[in-house]
Structure 1
Amino acid sequence: MTGKSSSDLNNHHTNLVLKYGVASRIILISLILLWRSLISPYDTSASINPSCLNGSVSGLRPVRFPRLASAIEDSIVWDSVYFVRIAECGYEYEQTYAFLPLVPICISLLSRTVFAPLIPFIGQRAVLGLSGYVLNNFAFVLAAFYLYRLSAIILKDSELALRASILFCLNPASIFYSSIYTESMYALCSIGGLYYLMRGSNNVATLWLALCGFARSNGVLNAGYICFQTMHKSYKAAFVRKHAGVTLLVLLSGALRSLFIFFPFIAFQAYGYYNMCVGGTSDEMRPWCKARLPLLYNYIQSRYWEVGFLKYFQVKQIPNFVLASPILSLAVCTIIHYVKLWPEVFVSLGFRASSPNKELAASSIPRGRSAGSKSVGFPSENRSDARQGDSLRRRKPTVREENYVAQPSEDEASENSGFKPVIIVPFILHLVFMVAAAFFVMHVQVSTRFLSASPPLYWFGSYVMASPRLSKGWGYIIWTYCASYILLGSLLFSNFYPFT
């Protein structure tokens, strides 16, 4: 395949991903409108909007299209109420600090600029809600775009990357990606940041990953990718090149980038401490203000939502564990699949490469469709032994390279040959931590949306659907799972019934 045809193929796939992303949002929004027109909401308090504590009464001004305004305001349910309220009034109460500021800031900016002319027609709160919906649906389409680009670099197969991206477009947490939640912005920032990290654009990647910490608290975990990269680069500088100066520079750069990713979350905690603790007497201070390490976020999660280690392990929560079981099962299968594929790589954290012969004995790994390099654990039973040998000989010089970052010169996977198993390790380690947190610490039913931005889930799902041995049965199960949760989520969530 020529460079030109490869570029055309990637452009074609990119357009397909964008079309699927837009189409999936249109379908989901249509389902929401359908269910809301057929079913009465369980809780009708969504439209209640007291005046801001700062005295603003903008929400009481008459509007020209009150029915449209009412329809938008009534659709603001569950956590969306908090995000819209914060965008309108700021952080007024202690529990509102559980919702980080990236989404409210973006909503406020859009409502004051792009959608400001609509305020006389539908009112400020409806404009804030509309801004949130447009923001998150647009961010979702961009996240799907970046997932394809990232997957094309990692998987070395544009078809598999396309399939993984389409699966993301129809993921079981789709209702949250089209609502006023953090899922879309977090997915965009995290997947986009990882894409630029794989490209070698470290400064851009650090900025994107830092924004994750402004969207969700678990965004700080993305510093692990920088730490993993730094660990391998410093090892190479110290023990391969034996250059102390370069080693020190690599360690310093990695530390600064990691701190930069932590900074948004830490700064927000400091902001909460200043607003809630500074200036008051000792008797007026909240308990967390007096703690040795005053973390407002941890206190709120424990105090208002009873989040904590094993706190959710109760008989009455069994239905929620059942609700979360599909995504947790898929995540566990994903982890087992990749660890079994390259056990030596995972045990050594990438410092010990698996023997190529062992890899081929464990699984017949294909050449990527877009490159003469192997894909990430997607079997192909139709390859001949001679072709395996030729492919292995062509790959050997590149496999010895010890740089963690893929760093293609262009977006196309064809220019990033020579997959190194170490590149998948931090993705799986991150997923392991997320699964453990979701199962043992958090409200387990949120696992569906909490894990939905993890790329390995879609890579493994793409593998299952591409494998001749598995695609018939398990492929249908995955699609049925996604479709049923989309239907169930759009029905329950939009009408203020508990979902996840």
Structure 2
Amino acid sequence: MSWLTQTPVHHPYRSLISVFVLWKAFLLLLAILTPGPGYDTSTTLAQWHRDTRDIKGLIPTILRQISTKLTRWDAIYFTEAARRGHVFEQEWAFSYAFSKLINLLAAGSEHTGAFPYEFKESALGVAVAHMAHATSAVVLHRLACIILPGMQGRKLAFIAACLHILSPGGLFLSAPNAESTHSLLSFTGALLFAQSLSVSGISTSIQDGLLLLAGIMYGLSTAVRGNGLLNGVIFLEEAFRILYSFMQDFSFTKFRRLAAVGLAGICTGLGYALPQYIAYQQFCGNVNSTGEDSSREWCRRAIPSIYSFVQEHYWDNGFLRYWTLSNLPLFALASPMLAILVYSSFWTLNVESGDTIQVCPTGQLTGRLLRSLATPQIILTVMVFFCNHVQIITRLSSGYPVWYVWVAALIVDGYTASPSAPKRHLDGSGYGQTIVQYMVIYAAVQGVLFASFLPPA
């Protein structure tokens, strides 16, 4: 893995695109060469798979093969919902916003005749996933450069972006799934939030506008994946900071900042609430021929969330429900990623104290930014460990930037954060390289299993 530390960073984006193309080509080759439809034939039952009359030429044939191999697991729900809308209750566990995006792109391609194939929803979903993943790597690089200024920071930023490309999410970041799009929107929100902060503590109107844009991006990421709602904690923390500063003195600038924080938090919440409202309109308030209310039971809850209901009712999510002896291998499978997320989150607590592996030089806002961005990450880790199907952490982790920065710091065998402090050469690079090897091996093995429609997923 020495190429990560030796690659020049004078042209980082060109280098990142090269790494991206090579890695994606490797994963797609694994998927294409994986024999058979796997133990689940759901994809092959689709009409577009059975009907080959419109498939002429080498490129459409290859695209159809890739679409077949990558339309697995959740992607079947996304692409089917994109084709004919969310019809059944359980389909609302899968992003309405992402399926709608694919639907609009498919309608546009059909209208223009640019992609006149029955498998267009799957193929366009694959294209969106690849473009979003590549762009999110670029955005993460820019975010890390802001968090970690200087030449050393640029080196770490490049490594962190490469790690995002090599994410253990693997083919889930190439398939018609929401993970790549969520990562792009989440990283963009984090970037805008970082740009909205002021070293002096007094923000300008432009910075407050960037904060509002960050809330909009986080809201869109929440609409794409519900766990994006956790990013709202960042705005809650910022609001507490401003309210605490009111104890010292009150100013219009602080009030404007607080208003921007409030609007940003509302935008984040709307990303979760609006799809719920659309589902409520579809399933609730129905009256049958006898005049009785035939709405589903979740409609009568104090907070009628279809997402929470289907996760509990159809997927048996809930506190300690997944803690069974038969699921122990899945906890073992998820344990490396869980440990990485937990350790990297606690690492941010000591970024400025010199008590742990550090990066040098750091800006005045480095520690604060890392700790703020680590809060949603650790909350997600705890929630998945206790309440969800734990193995999904390998792909959900792709949208959280802090652990990439931590592993990058390990790879370069980090230094103390304070330029005046003696540099302690800590033996961290070995751990960093081990993590990278785990990511590559896991993504490769998972790629074969994914394309064969074999668990875990």
TM-score, normalisation: structure 1 = 0.77
Conserved 8 A contact 2:86-2:96: no
Secondary structure at the counterpart of residue 437 of structure 2 = helix
Cα distance in 2 between the residues matched to 1:366 and 1:87: 44
The one-letter code of the counterpart of 2:454 is: Y
1:475 counterpart residue number: 432
**1:117 Cα shift?**
2.6
Give distance in 2, aligned partners of 1:15 and 1:60. 40
**Number of corresponding residues:** 415
**CA offsets, 1:432-460, max 9 Å, x none?**
10110110011001111112221111111
Conservation of the 8 A alpha-carbon contact between 1:150 and 1:191: yes
Q: What does residue 99 of structure 1 align with?
A: 94
Shift of 1:94: 0.6
Match of 1:74 among 61, 68, 71: 68
Name the residue aligned to 1:458: 404
1:44 maps onto 2:1 in alignment: no
Deviation at 1:340, TM superposition (A): 4.2
Contact 1:186 1:215 in 2 (8 A): yes
How far apart are 1:179 and its partner, in Å? 0.7
* Aligned counterpart, 1:398: none
The verdict on how the C-alpha distance between 1:278 and 1:136 changes in structure 2, with shifts beyond 3 A counting, is: same
Equivalence for 1:407: none
1:291 matched to which residue of 2? Answer: 301
Q: Do structure 1's residue 263 and structure 2's residue 270 form an aligned pair?
A: yes
Which whole-Å CA distance do the structure 1 matches of 2:32 and 2:47 have between them?
26
3-state SS of the aligned residue for 1:243?
coil
Q: 1:231 is matched with which residue: 240, 245, 252?
A: 240
Paired residue type of 2:309: Y
Structure 1 residues 170 and 293: alpha-carbon distance in aligned structure 2, compared to 1, 3 A threshold: same
Change (3 A) 1:233 1:10: farther
Q: Percent identity?
A: 24
Compared CA separation, residues 63 and 227, structure 1 to 2 (3 A): same
- Pairwise CA distance, 1:341: 4.4
| Equivalent in the alignment of 1:353 | none
Q: Does 1:184 align with 2:175?
A: no
Partner of 2:391: 445
**1:130: how far off?**
0.6
Q: Is the 8 A contact 1:328 1:435 kept in 2?
A: yes
Q: Which runs of 5+ in 1 are unaligned?
A: 1-8, 52-57, 343-358, 369-373, 375-416
Alignment of 1:76-475 (within 5 A): 76-114=71-109, 117=113, 119-120=115-116, 123-124=117-118, 126-156=119-149, 157-200=153-196, 201-236=210-245, 238-240=246-248, 242-243=249-250, 245-281=252-288, 282-341=292-351, 359-360=353-354, 362=355, 367-368=360-361, 374=362, 417-467=363-413, 469-471=426-428, 473-475=430-432
Residue by residue over 1:152-211, the C-alpha shift from the partner in whole angstroms, topping out at 9 and shown as x without a partner, is 111221001111111111111121100111110000000011111111222332221111
More displaced stretch, 12-21 vs 333-342: 333-342
Shift of 1:364: 8.2
The structural deviation recorded for 1:270 is 1.0
1:492 aligns with: 449
Amino acid of the structure 2 residue aligned with 1:45: S
Aligned Cα root-mean-square deviation (Å): 2.5
Tell me the distance in 2 between the aligned counterparts of 1:471 and 1:253.
40
- In the alignment, the residues of structure 2 paired with residue 197 and residue 59 of structure 1 have an alpha-carbon distance, to the nearest angstrom, of 47
> Deviation at 1:45?
2.7
Instruction: Please report how far the alpha carbon of residue 33 of structure 1 lies from its aligned counterpart in structure 2 after TM superposition.
Output: 1.2
Please tell me whether the aligned partners of residues 286 and 294 of structure 2 are also in contact (alpha carbons under 8 angstroms): no
Q: Which runs of 5+ in 2 are unaligned?
A: 1-7, 197-209, 414-424
Match of 2:207?
A: none
Contact 1:31–1:490 (CA under 8 A) maintained in structure 2: yes
CA distance in 1, matches of 2:302, 2:358: 52
Q: Contact between 1:148 and 1:164, CA under 8 Å: does it hold in 2?
A: yes
CA gap 1:293/1:199 in 2 versus in 1, 3 angstroms: same
Contact 1:177 1:184 in 2 (8 A): yes
Write out per-residue CA displacement over residues 219-258 of structure 1, whole angstroms, 9 at most, x where no aligned residue: 112122222223323433x134x12554444333322221
SS of the residue corresponding to residue 324 of structure 1 reads: helix
* Partners of 1:165 and 1:458 within 8 A in 2: yes
Query: Match of 2:319, SS?
Result: coil
Secondary structure of 1:305's partner? coil
Partners of 1:118 and 1:127 within 8 A in 2? no
Deviation at 1:323, TM superposition (A): 0.8
**Any conservation in 2 of the 1:226–1:254 contact (CA below 8 Å)?**
yes
Q: CA 1:340 to 1:114, structure 2 compared with 1: closer, same or farther past 3 Å?
A: same
Could you list the per-position Cα deviations for residues 444-478 of structure 1 after superposition, in whole angstroms to 9, with x for gaps in the alignment?
01111112221111111111111154345313311
